[in-house]
Amino acid sequence: MPKGLPFQLDRYLELEDWSGRHLDLRKRGCIAENTPPILERPGISPRHWLYLNRNFESRFKGLVGSVKVVQHL
């Protein structure tokens, strides 16, 4: 379990997603009912997502960010 969160990250994201769907549609941060669930939106299988997260540094050996931001480093 991550430090600072009383539950797993995926459950936290689901809670945030659920909360956003119950806000007034005129409020900032609201999520439309027809928006796919938060863990489905990236379109990556959970297995692949976990692999990328666990192996990020070994898979990507460069800078992360937009070209414009990276050029200014």
**pLDDT at residue 1 above 60?**
no
pLDDT in tens, 37-52: 887 887 878 788 788 7
pLDDT in tens, 19-37: 999 988 888 889 888 999 8
Residue 24 one-letter amino acid: D
Q: What are the angstrom distances between the C-alpha of 7 and each of 3, 29, 71?
A: 9, 22, 38
Q: Pull the structure tokens for residue 28.
A: 């900032």
Q: How much is the pLDDT for 59?
A: 67
Q: What are the angstrom distances between the C-alpha of 71 and each of 2, 21, 57?
A: 33, 38, 20
